[in-house]
Every structure is written in C-alpha cells, then in structure tokens.
Amino acid sequence: MAETARPTHPLSPAEAWRFTADHAQRTTFFFDFDGVLSPVTDDPDASQPVESVLGVLEQLAGKVSRVAIVSARPVSFLRSRFASLSHVDLYGLYGLEVWHEGEVVTEPAALPWVPAMADLAERARTELPDAILVEYKRLSVALHYRTAPQLAGTVDAWAHEQAERLGLKTQGGRMVAELKPPVDQDKGMVISEGVKAADCAWYFGDDMSDIKAFDALRAREAVEPDFFGMCVAVANPETGAEVSSAADLTLASPQAVAEFIADGMRSF
C-alpha cells in the first residue's frame, strides 16, 4: 500500500491521522502537561493527569516511534504522575532535565544555578504578598498569581527586577511568571532536536511557551519537504486566541485531548 503524501495546511484531523498511521514508525508525539494532559489548578502540586490519559499514552507509545512530555515541571514531578508509563520520555524545566530509559540527565550549564534559585525562592516568599504561590523547582522559580490576578503587575515587576539583578531569564505563562537560569534552552529547542530523525511529529500545547514548539515544527517542514508537523492547541481563556491561532487544530480540554488520541489511534 502506497504511503500518503504529506498533507498541506490547513487540513482535517482525518488527513493528519492517515499520514501519521502510514509513518508511525518515524512519528513522535510531544505533549505539554499542565492544561493539556491535566487541568490547570490553583495549587500546582494538586495537578493530576485526567483519568484516561495514562492508558491512552501507553497505547500510543506502542504504535509510534516515540511519545514525550515536555513541561515546565521538574522531571521528579512528572515521574510522580507518570510512573506507570514505561515508554514515555519526560522533559522537565523546558528541557533542562530529561528522563530517558530510566535515567535523569540535567543540563550541566544549569547546575551551578541551583543555590541561587533556592535563595531566590526564599526571597520571593519574604518580599511578595502572601497570596503569591512560590513554586521552587530546583532550577527555576515560578510565581503563581492565579488566586490573586490583580497582583500580576507586582509579580512581573519583581520578576524582571530579580532577573536583571541575577542575570536570569524570565518566562511568562498562564497566571505565572517564572525565573530561569541564563541557559539557552526552551521547548522549541527540545522539539527541533527531537524531530531530526522523524517523518512526522505532533505537539499539543496550551501556553505561550508552546508557540516556540509550534514554530519548531513549522521550521522543520520548511527545510524538509517530506516532514509533516501537526500543532494542536488546547483552549483556555487565559491565553485567548494567540495559541490557538498558531495551531492547526484546537481542542476543548485535557479530556478532549485523551479522547482525540484514542479516536485517532483507530486509524492505525
């Protein structure tokens, strides 16, 4: 049976799944965690993948070349949520940490920043209003203002002040400002590297940092005529239309993501 030609954008989900099924052995699926596999929660520690996700991802991993989760969360957190998955790679902290084949690899250039991040987390707890949830991630500090959106300006100003003082990078997100080491790593770079040997790749995201991953798939298509990338957004009121407008397809929720994957696998 002849393989399908690379679809052109815009396209239907059915066309995308047909191409994916024909190239399954050289296809990679990438997923963000928060807002894509799990609903976003006021308390980040309370986030759990939707009930059907674990089985769907394990089944998908048995059909395609690779499945990976690419998240701002640390690998330790992702492992606690996906410990039962034996064939899913985990990229934590925008790719500064990688869990692959039973081993965690940390970007060496980021390791010297661990003490500074610990100090920064303590400073944030002292200097910012109590309503701000400070999430220390070893190699980054996230400042959540979901329960106090009126403090967004205060948090952003404080984050930029600390970034200038310490030479850090800032990353905005859904009701969060994050401070990271000045190491050249983001989701787009993870995807660019991850698709070099692929004929097909999907990325599911919901936040501004995921647009870089979408851009990486578009860039690969531009230089490799036989490569096909599918960008899927998950709708939310906090990023408005910006993420959806950068995607090929928008799904309504993490539950819809799980159902979409389960339905799509019937094409294989």
Catalytic site positions: 32
Strands 141-144 and 176-180: antiparallel
Structure confidence at residue 240 (pLDDT): 66
- Find the largest Cα–Cα distance for the chain: 65
Contacts of 178 (CB under 8 A, 6+ apart): 72, 140, 141, 142, 143, 159, 170, 171, 172
Summarize pLDDT for 84-116 with one digit per residue, the tens.
Answer: 898 899 999 999 999 877 888 999 999 999 999
Summarize pLDDT for 127-146 with one digit per residue, the tens.
Answer: 999 999 999 999 999 999 99
Go through the domains of the chain in sequence order and give each one's CATH number: 13-107+185-267 (3.40.50.1000), 110-180 (3.30.70.1020)
Summarize pLDDT for 154-184 with one digit per residue, the tens.
Answer: 999 999 999 999 999 999 889 999 999 999 9
pLDDT interval class at 4 (50, 70, 90): low
The pTM for the full model equals: 0.91
Residue 34 pLDDT > 90: yes
Q: How far apart are CA 139 and CA 97, in angstroms?
A: 9
Structure confidence at residue 1 (pLDDT): 43
Residue 74: count other Cβ atoms within 10 Å of its Cβ. Answer: 21
Structure confidence at residue 36 (pLDDT): 97
Residues 10-36: what's their mean pLDDT?
Answer: 94
